[in-house]
Amino acid sequence: MRPLILVTNDDGIVAPGIRALVEVASELGDVVVVAPDSPQSGKGHAITIHDPLRLNKVKVFPGIEAYECSGTPVDCVKIARYVVLKDRTIDLCVSGINHGNNLSISILYSGTLSAAMEGSLEGIRSIGFSLDNYSFDADFEPSKPWVRRVMEHSLAKPFQPGTLLNVNLPNLPADLIRGLKVCRQADDRWVEKFQEGRDPRGQPYYWLGGQYLTMDDGTDTDVWAVKNGYVAVVPAMHDLTNYRAMADLQVLENPAGR
């Protein structure tokens, strides 16, 4: 039986990146798409609880069952799991291909990766894919063989419990992609900068911009890999416990603790 592959993203169901992902996924399994009806980049792990969600069956991809959802990427995975596919077993959840990289700590802000993380929380093997090009017209063709390689491996081999894969693809022609590296997440930051202005009614507004700051010069990071022409694969997890810090805090458990 062909595996069932759930496809979602955060750039919206009409973004070229999800089309590329659907094309690869449909070579490997039966595909169902549940994706946002509007751009949801930067929504992280947000969910919708004060408004109802809308779900419409749409014909966006030839021959593929697809739904657009009014919610966030995480809403899409939840509604796919518990409504659209409630009677079926999802073998793989893939999100993207995002227009723009999701390297380093971007995993915390990215709707693409949060959708994959939500899949992993449901015990589904899940992968987020991102191309290092923010343009709507980005060329996803060179990424496809690598996307396929990671998806095939993920369908064949079980994941460690609670694991998702964060895959970043370099924006290069096929013959210049040097290979694939399994990496750690670089320890980088965004330095935020708000642009201030006045709206047409004279009210002040603040518009978040910012600059990506590389502080980690390791050669084993996702940032290094993509900058040097490799596909970066970071195994990630939702467990944010800092196990190394637990011992330092043990004194709190002792009422007379010092």
Query: In the complex, which residues of this chain contact Mn ion (CB under 5 A)?
Result: 10-11, 41, 98
42 versus 173: smaller Cβ distance to Mn ion: 42
11 versus 132: smaller Cβ distance to Mn ion: 11
Distance CA 150, CA 154 (A): 6
The CB-of-231 to Mn ion minimum distance in angstroms stands at 18
SS3 16: helix
Phi, psi of 125 (to 5 degrees): -60, 125
159 versus 212: smaller Cβ distance to Mn ion: 212
**Please, are residues 165 and 115 in contact by the beta-carbon 8 Å criterion?**
no
Axis crossing angle, helix 16-28 with helix 144-156, rounded to the nearest 10? 50
11 versus 222: smaller Cβ distance to Mn ion: 11
- Closest chain position to Mn ion (CB): 41
SS3 165: strand
The CB-of-209 to Mn ion minimum distance in angstroms stands at 17
Query: How far, CA to CA in Å, does 237 sit from each of 38, 47, 102, 166, 243?
Result: 27, 19, 15, 10, 14
The CB-of-133 to Mn ion minimum distance in angstroms stands at 12
Render the burial of 99-137: b for 16+ CB within 10 Å, e for the rest.
bbbbbbebbebbbbbbbbbbbbbbebbbbbbbbbbeeee
The CB-of-167 to Mn ion minimum distance in angstroms stands at 14
The CB-of-212 to Mn ion minimum distance in angstroms stands at 15
The CB-of-15 to Mn ion minimum distance in angstroms stands at 8
* Residue tagged 């004279």 (tokens): 202
**Which of 114, 83, 111 lies closest to 15, judged by CA?**
111
87 versus 137: smaller Cβ distance to Mn ion: 137
28 versus 115: smaller Cβ distance to Mn ion: 115
